[in-house]
Structure 1
Amino acid sequence: MNVGEATYKDLQLLGINSIHQLANASADQLYARLQQITGQLHDPCVWDVFAAAINEARTGEKQPWWQWTKIRKKRQLEGTFCI
């Protein structure tokens, strides 16, 4: 998985230690849990990175994280984003 060091550490903190675990994860749940565990609000772009990594784990298709920004922003406008 092609993620940066900070995301790798976040995934470890969340108990994600394999591609299989990541493929079965939800970006919403990971993002919400990360904020609970750390007691901090995180930039919504973290959700974008999680979504891209999960998609790659599920499909093998590598996409830049910012391709998920449009999806997140639409959900934010609709009030369906997890935070």
Structure 2
Amino acid sequence: MEYATRIREKLTAGLAPVRLEVVDDSGRHAGHAGADAAGETHFHVTIVSDAFTGKSRVERQRIVYTLLADELRERVHALGLTTQTPGEAGT
């Protein structure tokens, strides 16, 4: 299974987002540390979820990192995050 799909599935199951975007930025990082010619090493995720209500930016990131621990250990080298509540995102 592709890593982008795994990321989507785990974040959907764990956070029930109202908005989720997973962008594979690996092509933009060719030649950089952690990059692999096979791709799927660098991602940016935008996630809007009620689960983030009352949580700091660091707490939100820790939640996501915990859910994606396997992917980060196996292949994903860089993970950019935008984490918001529906109120913050205007949704």
TM-score, normalised to structure 2, is: 0.32
Structure ID, larger Rg: 2
Bigger share in helix? 1
Bigger share in strand? 2
TM-score, normalised to structure 1, is: 0.34
